[in-house]
Structure 1
Amino acid sequence: MFRSIRNAFITGLVVILPLGVTIIVINFLLQKLGTPASNFFFWFLDRQFRDMPAVALALEIISILVVFLLITLLGYCSRFVIGRILLRWMEKLLGQVPFINSVYRTVKQIVDTISQQNKAVFQEVVLIEYPRAHSYVLGFLTSKAKGEPQEVTGANIVNVFVPTTPNPTSGFLLMLPDTDVTRLKMSITDGMKLIISGGAVVPPGEGEPVKIENPEEARGRSGN
C-alpha cells in the first residue's frame, strides 16, 4: 500500500511539475520585470487606477511584451551599421566605469562563447582518469588550450569541463594533455543523461573509444 501511495505521489509530481515551473516563471516575470516596467512605462496614469488588481495585471503583461519587443528591436538594429556603432559606443562608455566594466566584459565573454554559431561549447564526450589512476570520470571537451597554459606546459593541452552529479550546471575545469583524454562516441545528450541520472541511464556502446593522439607522435609514426 505504501509503495502504491509513493508511486502515485511521484506520478502526481511528474504531472504537476511542468505546470508548477511554468507558474513560477510567469510569477517571476510579473514581479521582477512586469511591475518595474509597468511603473516606468505607465507612470503618467493615476496611482489608484494602476493599483486596481485587473488593471495592474494588464499593465504588467503589456510591459513584459514591450520589453521583449524592445529587446527584439535591439537585436535587429545590431545587424545594421548604425546599430553596431551605437553598441560600440555603449561598450566604450561602460568600459570607462570602474567595476561595471569588469562585470560587463566577463558576462559578454560568457555570452559570446555560448552563442557562437556553428560551434558547440561541448564538442565531445570524453573519459579521463580522475582523481586518481584507474578511477574514471565523464567530461566534455570544450576546446584546445591556448596562450600561457600551452606555453608553460609545452604540451598539447585540452580543456575538459567535468560536471557534477546530478546538477551538471556546476563543475570544474581540467587542463589535460590530449594524450590523457579518451574520446567517446556517445552524444552530448547521452553524456548529460548519464551524469544527471547518476549512472542509472547508460547509453549503449557504439564501438571502441578513440584516444586523442599527440600530433607530434602521429607525425612521427606517419614518417616512419
Structure 2
Amino acid sequence: MRKYFITGLLILVPLAITLWVLHAIISTMDQSLLLLPVQWRPEAVFGFKIPGLGTILTLLIIFFTGLLTQNFIGNYVVKIWEALLNRIPIVNSIYSSVKQVSDTLFSSSGNAFRKAVLVQYPRQGSWTIGFLTGVPGGDVVQHLNGDYVSIYVPTTPNPTSGFFLMVPKADAIELDMSVDAALKYIVSMGVVAPEATVTEKTQ
C-alpha cells in the first residue's frame, strides 16, 4: 500500500508543481487584459473569462515592441522615452538600474549567467554551484588585490533568491555544465545530477 502511495506521489507532485507554476505565470500575464477597454475584454464579448488570452496578448506586445524598436524611428522613440524617464527623480535611478541588469542578463553579447562555476561557500571545504555574472567594478576594485570575479549563488530549491559574492578568480572553478543543467541540479537539491561529460566517462 505504501509503495503505491509513494509511486503516486512521485508522479503527481511534479505535475502539480508544474501546473501551479504555469498557472501563476499565466495568471500574471493575463493581467495585460486590463489594458483593454472594458467592452473589449473577454467577459464583455463572450460573457466569461478565457485563461491564457492575456498571455497571448502579452507575448504579442513584447514581440511587436521588439519589432518596432529595430528600425530607425522606433529606436529614436525609445531614446526619447529613456531620456524622459532619466529626468524624473527616483524613477531614473530605478529604471537605469533595472535596465542595466536586464541588458546584462538578456543580451546575447553579455556574459552574465553564461557559465556555471564551483566555489567554496559558506566556508572552506563546503562547495556549491554559482553563476558567473561579471567582474567587480567601481570603487570595489580599489579594495581587492588580484583578479576577482562576481558570482551569484542561488538558494535551494528557490533559485530566484541567493547571494552575491566576489571571490578570487582562481577560487572559482568553471564547470563543463550548461546553465540549465546547473539550475536543474540546484532546484532538485542535488537529486537530479547532470550527465557526465565524455572526458569524465573516459577517466
TM over 0.5: yes
| 1:159 paired residue among 141, 150, 162 | 150
C-alpha separation between the residues in 2 aligned to 1:67 and 1:186?
33
C-alpha separation between the residues in 1 aligned to 2:152 and 2:163?
6
Determine the structure 2 residue equivalent to 1:141: 132
C-alpha separation between the residues in 2 aligned to 1:16 and 1:198?
18
> Quick check: 1:123–1:143 contact (8 Å CA) kept in 2?
no
Q: Cα 1:24–1:115, aligned 2, differ >3 Å: closer, same or farther?
A: closer
Helix, strand or coil at the partner of 1:126: strand
Read off the aligned partner of 2:4 and give its amino acid letter.
S
Q: Cα 1:10–1:137, aligned 2, differ >3 Å: closer, same or farther?
A: closer
Helix, strand or coil at the partner of 1:201: coil
| 1:200 paired residue among 180, 191, 200 | 191
C-alpha separation between the residues in 2 aligned to 1:197 and 1:112?
29
Determine the structure 2 residue equivalent to 1:179: 170
Helix, strand or coil at the partner of 1:110: helix
* Per-residue deviation, residues 45-104 of structure 1 (Å, max 9, x unmatched): xxxxx865724647x94x765665444333222112211111111111111222222221
> Quick check: 2:86–2:92 contact (8 Å CA) kept in 1?
yes
C-alpha separation between the residues in 2 aligned to 1:65 and 1:127?
39
| 2:104 paired residue among 113, 118, 132 | 113
| 2:46 paired residue among 48, 54, 74 | 54
Determine the structure 2 residue equivalent to 1:92: 83
Helix, strand or coil at the partner of 2:159: coil
C-alpha separation between the residues in 1 aligned to 2:36 and 2:48?
8
Q: How big is the alpha-carbon RMSD for the aligned residues of Structure 1 and Structure 2?
A: 3.1
Determine the structure 2 residue equivalent to 1:38: 36
Q: Cα 1:196–1:178, aligned 2, differ >3 Å: closer, same or farther?
A: same
C-alpha separation between the residues in 2 aligned to 1:196 and 1:68?
27
Query: Gaps spanning 5+ residues in structure 1: where?
Result: 44-49, 208-224
Q: What is the identity percentage for the equivalent residue pairs of Structure 1 and Structure 2?
A: 29
Q: Cα 1:157–1:13, aligned 2, differ >3 Å: closer, same or farther?
A: closer
TM-score when normalising by structure 1: 0.72
Query: Gaps spanning 5+ residues in structure 2: where?
Result: none
Helix, strand or coil at the partner of 1:133: coil
Q: Tell me the CA shift for residue 18 of structure 1.
A: 4.3
Q: Cα 1:122–1:152, aligned 2, differ >3 Å: closer, same or farther?
A: same
Read off the aligned partner of 2:32 and give its amino acid letter.
L
The number of residue pairs the alignment matches comes to 197
Q: Cα 1:52–1:42, aligned 2, differ >3 Å: closer, same or farther?
A: closer
C-alpha separation between the residues in 1 aligned to 2:57 and 2:187?
37
Determine the structure 2 residue equivalent to 1:11: 11
